[in-house]
DNA sequence: TGCCAGGCCCTCTTTAGGGCCTT
């Protein structure tokens, strides 16, 4: 499953944060980062690290993620981990499920250590809302089932969620490749698709489906 | 103790409101 059928897929880093809450503007911090690098449709790198946010994590977050305060007690600081992660993403384009959430935390954590990044973000959730319009909802776990992608790990851990988002991303590239034989610049393609009105994508899919009959 | 955000997108819409999705 790690090799997709896209011949000219460009390099992206798919990432996922676990955090103390929903908003860095309200003081929430990252507690884990997981990421997968895809080159030519193949996974060529992984990054995973717990980080100590300097504050206690709520019991809700401990239950939600399985990441406990004792696990974070001896973890390296957010700054130390984020320096390493800034080196890992290395200017590549970035993908996340509900990317606006992860982008806010990436911006906040890198801002605290005066680091940045030059790649652009694309959102797998916005693409999935267009390509998988019949899915019961567009949570990551639901989409994995809807796309018949095998899963046997625990959601809500950063590396596993980034691995599943990677498989979803490659699956959606596969849909575009099979339906429209489009394989050049797939990041840009799906980034553009995420901004295309859902109704327009629905008509495109219906037309493609009827042409195949 | 209990609460907090923000972007997208639909609709009973656009001078708005509310659900979804992320932790």
- Is the CB of A156 less than 7 A from some atom of nucleic acid strand B? yes
Q: Tell me, in Å, how far CA of A139 is from C1' of B20?
A: 9
Q: Tell me, in Å, how far CA of A3 is from C1' of B13?
A: 44
Give pLDDT, residue A7.
Answer: 47
| CA distance to A28, A153, A180, per residue, from A4 (Å) | 36, 21, 16
- Is the CB of A161 less than 7 A from some atom of nucleic acid strand B? yes
Average pLDDT of each block of 10 consecutive residues along chain A (213 residues)? 50 96 95 95 94 95 96 96 96 95 96 95 95 93 95 92 96 85 78 85 75 61
Q: Tell me, in Å, how far CA of A113 is from C1' of B18?
A: 37
Structure pTM?
A: 0.90
**Which residues touch A84 (CB under 8 Å, ≥6 apart)?**
A47, A49
Give pLDDT, residue A9.
Answer: 56
Work out the angle between the directed axes of helices A198-212 and A124-131 (0-180°, nearest 10).
50
* Model confidence pLDDT, tens digit, residues A99-128: 999 999 999 999 999 999 999 999 999 999
CA distance A78 to A195: 32
**Which residues touch A139 (CB under 8 Å, ≥6 apart)?**
none
Give pLDDT, residue A201.
Answer: 83
Protein residue closest to B3, using CA and C1'? A26
| A:104-123 Cβ neighbours of strand B under 7 Å | 104
Other beta carbons less than 10 A from residue A192's beta carbon: 12
Give pLDDT, residue A211.
Answer: 66
* Model confidence pLDDT, tens digit, residues A73-87: 999 999 999 999 999
Q: Tell me, in Å, how far CA of A76 is from C1' of B10?
A: 44
CATH code 3.30.420.10 for A12-207: yes
Sign, CA dihedral A141-A21-A194-A123, equals: negative
Give pLDDT, residue A196.
Answer: 86
- Is the CB of A21 less than 7 A from some atom of nucleic acid strand B? yes
Nucleotide nearest to A195 (CA to C1'): B8
| In chain A, where the domains are located | 12-207
Q: Tell me, in Å, how far CA of A133 is from C1' of B17?
A: 23
Question: Protein footprint on strand B: which nucleotides are under 7 Å from a CB?
Answer: 4-10, 20-23
């Amino acid at each position: 499953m790690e090799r997709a059928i896209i011949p000219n897929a460009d390099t992206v880093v798919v990432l996922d944060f676990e955090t103390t809450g929903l908003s860095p503007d309200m003081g929430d911090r990252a507690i884990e980062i997981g990421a997968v690098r895809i080159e030519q449709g193949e996974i060529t790198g992984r990054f995973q690290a717990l980080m100590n946010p300097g504050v206690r994590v709520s019991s809700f977050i401990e239950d939600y993620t399985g990441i406990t305060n004792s696990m974070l007690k001896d973890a390296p600081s957010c700054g130390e981990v984020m320096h390493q992660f800034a080196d890992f993403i290395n200017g590549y384009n970035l993908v996340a499920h509900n990317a606006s959430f992860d982008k806010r935390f990436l911006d906040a954590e890198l801002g605290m250590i005066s680091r940045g990044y030059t790649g652009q973000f694309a959102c797998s959730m916005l693409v999935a809302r267009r390509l998988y319009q019949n899915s019961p909802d567009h949570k990551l776990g639901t989409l994995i089932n809807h796309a018949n992608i095998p899963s046997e790990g625990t959601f809500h851990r950063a590396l596993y969620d980034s691995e599943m988002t990677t498989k979803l991303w490659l699956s959606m590239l596969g849909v575009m490749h099979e339906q429209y034989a489009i394989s050049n610049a797939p990041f840009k393609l799906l980034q553009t698709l995420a901004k295309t009105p859902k109704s327009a994508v629905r008509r495109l899919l219906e037309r493609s489906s009827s042409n195949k009959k």
